[in-house]
Structure formats: C-alpha cells, structure tokens
Amino acid sequence: MIPLRDQNPTSRPAVVTVLLIIVNVAIYFFIQPHAVTNRGGGVQEARFTYEHAAIPCEVVNDRPLTQSEIVRSLRGDHEGCEEGHPDSPAPFPHKAVYLAILYSMFLHGSLLHIGGNMLFLWIFGNNIEDRMGPFLYLLFYFAGGLVAAAAHIASQPHSTVPVVGASGAIAAVMGAYLVLFPNAPIRTVFIFFLILIRDISAKWLLLFWFVSQFFVAPTQGIAWVAHVGGFLFGALVALLFRNRLRGSPVIAGY
C-alpha cells in the first residue's frame, strides 16, 4: 500500500514540515555524492557515508571506526566491531560520532529512499505540526529520530554499517498521527494483481505499516527496529499529551 494524500485539513501552513523536506532534498542532491552521477562516485559515496553517518559500533565505543573495521564492513562482515579503543588508525579521527546521529537523519541512500520518506513526512507531518505548533513539533521530530537511532543501536551494538535516513523520525510522526487522527481518510494505492486507489482510515494503513516492519523490513536490510522504536515513541507522546494538544477538525470514520 502506498499513501498518496490524506483528507485532513490544517489550520496553518506546515512551515517546519516543508523546511525539513527542502533540507533533506537539498542535502541529497547537492551535498551527498552518488555513485550513479559521478565518476568514481561509488568510492566517494562510501567515504562520505562512513565519515558522516551514524554507526552503532562508533557510538557504543565512543570512537570512529578503524581502517580495518571499515574494510571488513565493505567486504560483508557487518559485525566486525573491535572492542574498546584499538591501536589501528581511524580514517576519520575527528568524526563526532554522536553528532553523526543527527546528521544521519538528513542523509538518504537512494531516490526511492528519500522519495518515500518525504512523501510520508508530507502526508502525516503537516497535521502533527498543526496540532503541536512549529517549535514543539520540531523538538518532537528530532526526539523521535534520536529514540529510533537508540533503538537500532541497542539492537545491533556491534554493527559497523552506517545508518542513514529520516524514517525513524518520520515513524514517530506516524505513531502520533495514529493516536490523534485514527479515522482520517488516506487516499491509498493498493498494488496486488491490480492497481486500485481507495480511501482507507489512517489506523488501518499505519497499523499495516507497523506490522510489516516485523516481517518485510528485516528481509530487505532495513533498520526496522528504528522504525518500531520511533513509531512507539510517537504514539506514546501523543497518548500522554493528547488532551493538551490543540483541537483540529473532526474527521468522519471509515
């Protein structure tokens, strides 16, 4: 199922959501190197990712990866994290391994990756921003991303694979949307033997997405624990503060 848009009007422009989308898109197209657009781009892309993206092994051990760890990771040994502070040199010795968690929220691995993330952010983010207000929404977005990253790191502390994408933070937005707007109609594309476009309630779409993280995402190399952690965080925050959030139009159920 692919959501196209929701029928859930807002009372103000979604300034923060639009800015987040612009920043993500600008970084992807104008800052990140890509293998398909540059000569030697594969090497540049890998170097950029290991230099700037969050990596569980680095965060757990409070140090950048060593040369040998990166080489093993590129060769397929994704759990080759050396304990403590090894003597072998690090290609990026000045990397801020904790700030990299924040940087990773603005990096994406492909056009499909960023396109899907930005679509979900636009559909679900504008209403959450409308409810929370721009400042609290921005704090919530980054907090969701940090919780999602923490969940992934806790599940794979020895991983040397860089983690990129805004999906953890967006999952938090989706979790909040489930609580605050469960019956909002979402225009959705269903792709089975035929392609159908129908309106379904947000709760069914979002619950389907959440359950799929346990079965589909793990087979595709996706950081599914980050998605689950972010989603649960967003739903919990919305549940705790639902009565304090500003009102919004009542949406008829489907």
pLDDT tens per residue across span 143-197: 999 999 999 999 999 999 999 999 999 999 999 999 999 999 999 998 877 788 8
In 3D space, the residue among 228, 6, 226 whose CA is nearest the CA of residue 128 turns out to be: 6
Q: Which amino acid is at 248?
A: S
Share of the chain above pLDDT 70, in %: 92
Backbone torsions φ then ψ of 3, nearest 5 degrees: -75, 145
Q: Is 163 helix (H, G, I), strand (E, B) or coil?
A: strand
Average pLDDT, the chain: 90
pLDDT of 55:
97
pLDDT of 84:
72
Token pair for 254: 């489907």
Q: Which amino acid is at 188?
A: T
Please give the CATH superfamily to which domain 2-31+101-244 belongs.
Rhomboid-like (1.20.1540.10)
- Which segments of 65-189 does DSSP mark as H helices, in order? 67-74, 99-104, 111-132, 134-155, 167-180
Position 250 pLDDT exceeds 60: no
Contacts of 59 (CB under 8 A, 6+ apart): 97, 98, 100, 101, 153
Pairwise CA distance, residues 33 & 42, whole Å = 8
Distances (CA, A) of 141 to 63, 124, 128, 174, 195: 26, 12, 10, 11, 33
pLDDT tens per residue across span 77-110: 988 898 877 778 999 999 999 999 999 999 999 9
Contacts of 6 (CB under 8 A, 6+ apart): 123, 124, 127, 181, 184, 185, 186, 187, 202
Q: Would you list the domain boundaries of the chain? A: 2-31+101-244
DSSP run (H or E) holding 22: helix 15-30
Distances (CA, A) of 203 to 41, 123, 157: 41, 14, 33
